[in-house]
Each structure stands twice: as structure tokens, then as C-alpha cells.
Amino acid sequence: MKRIFYLVILLALASGLYIYVYPRLSGGAADAQQTATQNGSNGDGRGRGSGLATAVVTAVAQKETLPISKTAVGYIEPAQSVVLRSRADGTVTAVNVTDGENVKAGDVLIKLDDRALQATIAKDQAQIAKDQANADAANAALEREKTLFRNSVDPQSSLDAATAAAKAAEATVTVDQAQLQADEVTLSYMTITAPIAGRIGTVNTSVGNIVHASDTSTGGLLTITSMDPLRVSFSIAEGELDNFRAALTRSPGGLPVDVTAPGDKAPRAAANLDFIDSSVDTSSGTIVLKADLPNPGLKLWPGQYVTATTRVGAYTDATTIPLQAVQQSDQGSFVFAVGSDSKVKRQPVTVVATVGDKAIIGKELKPGDHVVTEGQLRLSDGAAVRETVEGADVASTAIAPSTSARPAKS
């Protein structure tokens, strides 16, 4: 019983102490909060009323001239590519190039056994000499016959026969010379030279192989591909054809094309668009365009897929904002515009076009307007904000966010 009595007394003392102490503790905290509010601070050093404002990052709308660009996926193709084949039957006696070697026009690449043709040419030359001698003898006989005819020694028939014999001998020499030229052409086929400058692909023959003029294999003996210059080929929808034609009319020297390879952050090369195909592909509704591409450093390779961005014009004096400022809703695009009273307005906008990370806006915004680029998810129409302007002094904008001159949104 004593233990119960002491326990009741202990609980009564604890209850009285709680009733006496707690109101004073809570009252002191409330007084401190009230004092801080009266001093213009909410306890975190932000200043009077800042506890109701949302911190955001803003950007200033700019007046710029931006290019009008059209982008398409294309591929690199060589300006020239030649598959070399033998033009005569023969045995390979020398191969003077290796896979991947760079050659100049006129370089000797492959030689075939030409001994038989050399002998044939020697025979042709001997035949010409023989027939030329016969022709000379026939001409001399013709001159004698002419003298005899003038002296009325030989009849007209003898002169006619001598004339025919001389002409026949001359014709024989002409035939011999034509045969010699034909054999010399065939002899030239025994030495295969590079018709263009470029890079050798895979060499598909070696010394000792027999090659034939009738060979129609895909790779031939080897392939030479011109590496500089190249061409970029791409297709556009037929609906864009008029825009490109009009742009080429304004720039008869060609349109600039930026060529970007996969993984590039900047264009790898600049081309010049100067060709539009003569017809639209009816199966796909597209048309092929090609642009000449200097490639002095061999930065690009034939057959490589690239992105071709053609500049067909420019947006002059356009109002631009960062693309990330534009938000989407079921009613269309909008931005949060900050007024001079540091409150935001949900402003519907028309996105005319996007260029990189910038959006071109219609007449809803003017250069100098502030739009929110970070913190939009915490905002509603009319909310107070504490802004930090991109590119501005963070400290000054935090202390006096509304000092920058900009029109208020009504």
C-alpha cells in the first residue's frame, strides 16, 4: 500500500510540473518568432516576406538573327571511283601497289606478260618495211610508165595498170600501219595504270595469276576511290523542295551544309550544296540532294553515314529564349514570365521554330522580358518569386531582384 501511495504522489508532482513549465517554454518560442518577424527576418536571413517567394532561375529574352536550317541523314560518297579490270588476257608479272595505298594518276599499278605482243609488234614493223619497199618499187614503175605513155611508146592500158599497182602497194602499207597501231594499243593494256588519284582498296590479284578481259567480277583487279574531294548525298521530303530551290536561287553559288558524324558535338566539315536531282522518287516522296565536300584531312570516309544540316535562310530580328523555358500543357506552349513586381504570369506563347537550345517566340514576348528557366514545377500563376538571372551577378539579383528594368505582364 505504501508503494502505491508514493507512486500516486510522484505522478501528481510530475503532472503539476508539466502544467507549469510547458506554457512558458512554448510562449518563449512564440515570442522569439514574433520578435524576429517584427525585425524583418524569418530566421533564415532571407528578409521580410521572402518566406513566401519561390527561388527560380530566369533568362532574358533576346533579339537575334538565327539561321533557318534543315537537317537530314545522308552518307558520304566519292566524287570519283574506278574499278580496274584487265582489257586483255595475260599473266600478271608485277603488282606495284598494296591494299590501302594512295596513288597518283598515271602510276603503274600492275604489269602483264607482254613478250608475245612485243614480238607481234616487231613482226608488224617488218611487214611495214617490206610492203613500203614494194610500194616504192610500184611508184617508180608508175613514173617510168608515165614517160613511156607521153612518148607514145606504151598504150593507156599499161599506164592504168601501173597506177593501180602503185595504189595497191600504198594501201597495203596503210593496212600494215593500222595493224601496228592496234597491236600497240593491245600492248598498252599489258601495263595497268591509275586513271585517277585516290586510295587503293583491296588488291584482288597477285603475281602469276592469269587475268582475262572477260572478267566481270564486282571488285575487278582493284578499286581506286577518290578521297578528296568527296560528296555528301541526302534526301529531303518533296514538300521541302520549293524552299531549297528558292534558297539556291538566292544563292546561285550554292548553300552551306554542315556535316556532322555520329558522336560529334560540332560539324566535322563544311560542304556546298549545288545539286538537286531531276525528279522526285514516287515510291518514297523524296528527292536526292548532293553537296561537294572538301576533305583535305581525310576526316570523312566514303560510305560513312552523317547528318547534313543545310542553311536555307535566316530568322531576322527574332525574339529568342532558352528552349528549357518553354512548358507544355493541353492548351499548348507557355512560359512563366516574371513581371516588375517579382510575380510570375503563365504566358501562352507561339514557338515559331527551334534552333539548337533556343526557341524563337512569336509576339507574345518582347526582347528584355524575363522568363523562368528553372523552378517552373513549383510555380503557379501570380506566384511571387525570388529570381537569379542567368549570366547576371548572383549576389545582386538575390538582394534586389526587381531592380532590373523589364515590362510587367498584365
- Per residue in 186-240, pLDDT (tens digit) is 999 999 999 999 999 999 999 999 999 999 888 899 999 999 999 999 999 999 9
| CATH code of 257's domain | 2.40.30.170
Could you tell me if 183 and 199 lie in one domain? no
pLDDT at residue number 29: 43
Mean pLDDT of the chain: 86
Residue 334 CA to residue 306 CA, distance in Å, equals 34
pLDDT at residue number 17: 62
pLDDT at residue number 180: 96
Picking from 308, 338, 368, the residue at the C-terminal end of a domain is 308
CA 54-58-62 angle, 5° bins: 160
pLDDT at residue number 52: 78
| CATH code of 200's domain | 2.40.50.100
In a domain, 388, yes or no: yes
Picking from 244, 278, 308, the residue at the C-terminal end of a domain is 308
Residue 338 CA to residue 121 CA, distance in Å, equals 93
DSSP letters spanning 387-404? EEETTS-HHHHHH-TT-S
Q: Which class for 344: exposed (0-12), middle (13-18), buried (19 or more C-beta within 10 A)? A: buried
In a domain, 282, yes or no: yes
Could you tell me if 118 and 181 lie in one domain? yes
pLDDT at residue number 328: 94
Could you tell me if 84 and 214 lie in one domain? yes
In a domain, 164, yes or no: yes
Q: How many domains does the chain have?
A: 4
Phi, psi of 218 (to 5 degrees): -60, -45
How do residues 133-151 score in pLDDT, each as one tens digit?
Answer: 999 999 999 999 899 988 8
Residue 401 clears pLDDT 50, i.e. is over it: no
pLDDT at residue number 356: 83
Residue 156 clears pLDDT 60, i.e. is over it: yes
Could you tell me if 137 and 175 lie in one domain? yes
Report in angstroms the alpha-carbon separations of 213 from 85, 179, 189, 220: 7, 20, 10, 10
Q: How confident is the model at residue 308 (pLDDT cuts 50, 70, 90)?
A: very high
pTM for the model stands at 0.64
* 208, 91 Cβ separation under 8 angstroms: yes
Could you tell me if 62 and 74 lie in one domain? no
Residue 14 clears pLDDT 50, i.e. is over it: yes
Residue 171 clears pLDDT 50, i.e. is over it: yes
| CATH code of 138's domain | 1.10.287
In a domain, 24, yes or no: no
In a domain, 33, yes or no: no
Domain hosting 121: range is 114-187
DSSP summary character for residue 281: B
Residue 252 clears pLDDT 90, i.e. is over it: no
Could you tell me if 177 and 200 lie in one domain? no
In a domain, 177, yes or no: yes
pLDDT at residue number 154: 84
Picking from 275, 308, 341, the residue at the C-terminal end of a domain is 308
| CATH code of 57's domain | 2.40.420.20
User: How many residues appear in the chain?
Assistant: 410
Q: How confident is the model at residue 407 (pLDDT cuts 50, 70, 90)?
A: very low
In a domain, 75, yes or no: yes
Could you tell me if 292 and 353 lie in one domain? no
Query: For residue 398, what are the contacts with CB-CB under 8 A and spacing of at least 6?
Result: 386, 388
Could you tell me if 220 and 355 lie in one domain? no
Could you tell me if 107 and 198 lie in one domain? yes
Residue 350 clears pLDDT 70, i.e. is over it: yes
**Mean local confidence (pLDDT), 45-56:** 60
Could you tell me if 84 and 221 lie in one domain? yes
How do residues 16-43 score in pLDDT, each as one tens digit?
Answer: 666 655 555 444 444 444 433 444 334 3
Could you tell me if 127 and 213 lie in one domain? no
How far apart, in Å, do the first and last CA atoms of the chain sit? Answer: 80
Least confident range from 7-16, 250-259, 287-296: namely 7-16
In a domain, 36, yes or no: no
Could you tell me if 135 and 240 lie in one domain? no
Residue 78 CA to residue 298 CA, distance in Å, equals 12
**Mean local confidence (pLDDT), 325-352:** 94
Residue 276 clears pLDDT 60, i.e. is over it: yes
